[in-house]
C-alpha cells in the first residue's frame, strides 16, 4: 500500500545538486540531506534517502478529515471538563470528581504551581492545540485562502504537540483505578467516556497530519 | 526501503555542504544567510546554535530534581488517623503487594526505567556527536537516529505517575476513612520530566549525521 519513493534520490544521483534551484529541493529536517522535491502521490510515503525519516505522507482528503476530527475533539473537551469524571463510594459516602477537581488536587501551598501545570497539560494545551489546528486548516479544507496569521498559529500547534498530554492522563486514570480498587467502589461518569473518545479522535486526527504537506498547502494558498 | 543495488548509494549532499539552509519545521531549502523560513516562519539555523550546551544544561537540571523526587514522598495516605508516606518505589511495592503486577510494571517503567534510560540515552547521544568522534558512514548512525526518536517519543509518558497522584488526591477525600494528598516529590518529578523533554528538544538530530560528513571530507 505504502510504497517508498526512492526515485527522489536516483534522480539526483549524478546531478550536481548544489547548483539546483533551492525551490525544487527539500532538506530532511532530521539529517539535512538534500533531495529533489518531487510530487508525492496520495497514499504513498516519501522517505529521506539517507536516514529513512518519513518526509511526506499525503492522505486523501487529509485537510477535511483533520479539521473535522479536531473540531469534534474540541466539543468533547468541553463536555469532559464539566461532567462528573469518576465516582467513588465507600462506607456510604459518595465522592464525585470532575476533571477540574483532579486538576485542583494540587491547589494547596507549595503544590500550587503543579495545579497550573496539570491544568495546562491535560486541558489548556490540548484545547489550544486543537483550536489552532481548526483555525489554521479549516479555510484550507474549504479551499479558501488561509486565515490571517494562519502560519504562526499552525507553528504553535506543532510546538504544542509534545506538551498536550491528554492520552497520558487516561493511562494515569487506569493506574489510579487499580490503586483505589481495594479501598472503595468506583464507577465512571460520562466525562470519562467523553475524554477517552477525545483521546481516540485526537490520535486519529494526528495520523492524517503530514506537516510538510500542510506547510506546502498553506504556502500555495497564500499566493493571490 | 532501498533495494540492494549493485552500485553503492553515493554519499548524500547536505544542505550545509551545498551552502544552503534547510528548515527543520517544513523542510524548505533557503540560501545561506536567510534567517527566517519563508514558508513556515520558523527561525533558520544550519545547525541549532549551542545545541549541546542546552542539552547538557537541561539534562543536569533534570537529573538534579530527579533525586528529591525519589527521596521524598509522592503520596500521603491518611486512613483512620494513621498517615503513611509513599515514595515512587514504595508505590510500586504496594502495587506488587496487592498483586497487580501489570500496573506495578507500568508505574515502574514510567517512573524509574524511562527517566533513567532517558538520562543515559541523551547523555550518550550528546557525548558521541561531539566533533572528536567520527565514525564510518552508515555504521551505527541509524541506530543513534532511532534512539533519539524513541527518547523524544517516550519521554512524555513519564508523567503518568504525576497524573495518578492528581486523580487519587482529587478522588479519595473520604474524611475519616481515607484521605490521599500529594507529596512534594510530585513537583520535583514533574519538573524532571519537563527538563528532560526540553533536553531532548534542544538536541539537533542533524548533529548525529554530521559524523558521516566528517569521514567524507
Residue A195 contacts B where some CB pair is shorter than 8 Å: no
- Tell me which range, B71-85, B106-120, B157-171, is most confidently predicted by mean pLDDT: B106-120
Mean pLDDT, residues B101-127: 88
Residues A196 and A138 placed together within one structural domain of the fold: yes
Q: How far apart are the C-alpha atoms of A51 and B145, rounded to whole Å?
A: 8
Q: What pLDDT is attached to residue B135?
A: 57
Look at residue B32 in the predicted model and tell me its pLDDT.
79
Instruction: Find the helix packing angle between A62-82 and A190-208, rounded to 10°.
Output: 160
What is this model's ipTM? Answer: 0.79
pLDDT band of residue B100 (cuts 50, 70, 90) is: confident
Q: CB–CB of A26 and B28 under 8 A?
A: yes
Please check whether residues A67 and A30 belong to one and the same domain: no
Q: Based on the domain organization, do A155 and A49 belong to the same domain?
A: no
Nearest CA in chain A to B210: A31
Q: What pLDDT does residue A117 have?
A: 83
The answer on B212 and B182 residing in a single domain is yes
Q: Does the CB of A109 have a partner CB in chain B at under 8 Å? A: no
**Taking CA atoms, what residue in A is nearest to B19?**
A18
Instruction: Say yes or no for a CB contact (<8 Å) between A34 and B29.
Output: yes
Cβ neighbours of residue A10 closer than 8 Å, sequence gap 6 or more = none
State which residues of chain A have pLDDT below 70. Answer: 1-20, 91, 109-110, 182, 223-224
More confident residue, A144 or B201: B201
Whether the predicted pLDDT of B217 surpasses 50: no
**Chain A residues in contact with B2 (beta carbon < 8 A):** 4, 6, 49
> Are B60 and B29 part of one and the same domain?
no
- Mean residue pLDDT of chain A comes to 79
User: Does residue B139 register a pLDDT over 70?
Assistant: no
Range(s) of the domain holding residue A49:
7-56
Inter-chain touch B171–A122, beta carbons under 8 Å:
no
Say yes or no to pLDDT of B5 above 60.
Answer: no
For residues A32 and A67, membership in a common domain is answered with no
Do residues A46 and A143 both lie within one domain?
A: no
The pLDDT confidence band at residue B192, using thresholds 50, 70 and 90, is very high
Check whether residue A48 and residue A85 sit in a common domain.
no
Q: Are B62 and B123 contained in the same domain?
A: yes
Nearest CB to B41; choose among A31, A52, A155:
A155
Do residues B180 and B161 share a domain? Answer: yes
When divided into structural domains, chain B yields a total of 2
Mean pLDDT of chain B: 81
What mean pLDDT is predicted for residues B12-41?
Answer: 81
Q: Which residue matches cell numbers 463536555?
A: A79
Q: Which domain holds residue B9?
A: 1-46
Question: How many domains is chain A built from?
Answer: 2
Q: Are residues A201 and A99 in the same domain?
A: yes
Give which of A29, A183, A61, A60 is closest to B40, Cα–Cα.
A29
Q: Give, to the nearest 10 degrees, the angle between helix B88-98 and helix B51-71.
A: 60
Q: Please tell me whether residues B157 and B75 are part of one structural domain.
A: yes
CATH number at residue A123: 1.20.140
Give the pLDDT band (50/70/90) at residue B181: confident
Which of the four pLDDT bands, split at 50, 70 and 90, describes residue B6?
very low
Quick one: average pLDDT of B173-199?
84
- The lowest-confidence range among A28-32, A217-221, B129-133, B198-202 is B129-133
pLDDT tier, B68 (very low <50, low <70, confident <90, very high otherwise): very high
Across the interface, do A93 and B182 touch by the CB < 8 Å criterion? no
Co-location of B204 and B99 in the same domain: yes
**Confidence check: pLDDT of B178 > 80:** no
A94 & A179 share domain = yes
Tell me how far apart the alpha carbons of residues A157 and A126 are, in angstroms, rounded to a whole number. 9
Same domain, A126 and A162: yes
Same domain, A37 and A98: no
Q: How far apart are CA B131 and CA B210, in angstroms?
A: 9
Nearest-Cα residue of chain A relative to residue B104: A175
A103 within 8 A of A123, measured Cβ to Cβ: yes
Residue range B15-40: average pLDDT? 82
B181 grid coordinates: 494528598
Same domain as A164, residue A70: yes
Amino acid at each position: 500500500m505504502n510504497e517508498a519513493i526512492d526515485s527522489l534520490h536516483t534522480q539526483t544521483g549524478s546531478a550536481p545538486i548544489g547548483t539546483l534551484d533551492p525551490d525544487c529541493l527539500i532538506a530532511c529536517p532530521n539529517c539535512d540531506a538534500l533531495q529533489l522535491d518531487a510530487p508525492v502521490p496520495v497514499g504513498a510515503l516519501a522517505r529521506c534517502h539517507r536516514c529513512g525519516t518519513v518526509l511526506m505522507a499525503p492522505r486523501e482528503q487529509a485537510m477535511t478529515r483533520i479539521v473535522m476530527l479536531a473540531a469534534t475533539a474540541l466539543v468533547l473537551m468541553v463536555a469532559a471538563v464539566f461532567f462528573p469524571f469518576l465516582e467513588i463510594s465507600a462506607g456510604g459516602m459518595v465522592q464525585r470528581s470532575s476533571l477540574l477537581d483532579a486538576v485542583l488536587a494540587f491547589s494547596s501551598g507549595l503544590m500550587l504551581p503543579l495545579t497550573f501545570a496539570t491544568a495546562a497539560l491535560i486541558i489548556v494545551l490540548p484545547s489550544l492545540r486543537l483550536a489552532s489546528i481548526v483555525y489554521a486548516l479549516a479555510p484550507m479544507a474549504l479551499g479558501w485562502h488561509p486565515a490571517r496569521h494562519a502560519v504562526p498559529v499552525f507553528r504553535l500547534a506543532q510546538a504544542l504537540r509534545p506538551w498536550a498530554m491528554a492520552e497520558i492522563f487516561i493511562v494515569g486514570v487506569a493506574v489510579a483505578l487499580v490503586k483505589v480498587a481495594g479501598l472503595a467502589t468506583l464507577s465512571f461518569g460520562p466525562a470519562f467516556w467523553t475524554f477517552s473518545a477525545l483521546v481516540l479522535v485526537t490520535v486519529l486526527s494526528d495520523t492524517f497530519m503530514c506537516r510538510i504537506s500542510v506547510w506546502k498547502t498553506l504556502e500555495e494558498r497564500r499566493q493571490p | 526501503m532501498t533495494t540492494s543495488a549493485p552500485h553503492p548509494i553515493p554519499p548524500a549532499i547536505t544542505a550545509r555542504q551545498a551552502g544552503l539552509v534547510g528548515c527543520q519545521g517544513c523542510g524548505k531549502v533557503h540560501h545561506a544567510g536567510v534567517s527566517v523560513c519563508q514558508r513556515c516562519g520558523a527561525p533558520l539555523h544550519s545547525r541549532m546554535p549551542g545545541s549541546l550546551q542546552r542539552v547538557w544544561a537541561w539534562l543536569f537540571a533534570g537529573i538534579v530534581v530527579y533525586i528529591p523526587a525519589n527521596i521524598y514522598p509522592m503520596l500521603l495516605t491518611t486512613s483512620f488517623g494513621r498517615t503513611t508516606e509513599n515514595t515512587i518505589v514504595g508505590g510500586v511495592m504496594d502495587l506488587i503487594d496487592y498483586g497487580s503486577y501489570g500496573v506495578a510494571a507500568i508505574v515502574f517503567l514510567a517512573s524509574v526505567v524511562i527517566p533513567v534510560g532517558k538520562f543515559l540515552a541523551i547523555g550518550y547521544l550528546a557525548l558521541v556527536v561531539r566533533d572528536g568522534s567520527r565514525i564510518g558512514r552508515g555504521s551505527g548512525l541509524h541506530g543513534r537516529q532511532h534512539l533519539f526518536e524513541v527518547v523524544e517519543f517516550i519521554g512524555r509518558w513519564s508523567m503518568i505517575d504525576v497524573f495518578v497522584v492528581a486523580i487519587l488526591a482529587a478522588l479519595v477525600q473520604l474524611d475519616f476513612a481515607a484521605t490521599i494528598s500529594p507529596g512534594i516529590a510530585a513537583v520535583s518529578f514533574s519538573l524532571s520530566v519537563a527538563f528532560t523533554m526540553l533536553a531532548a528538544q534542544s538536541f539537533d538530530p542533524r548533529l548525529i549525521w554530521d559524523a558521516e560528513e566528517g569521514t567524507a571530507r
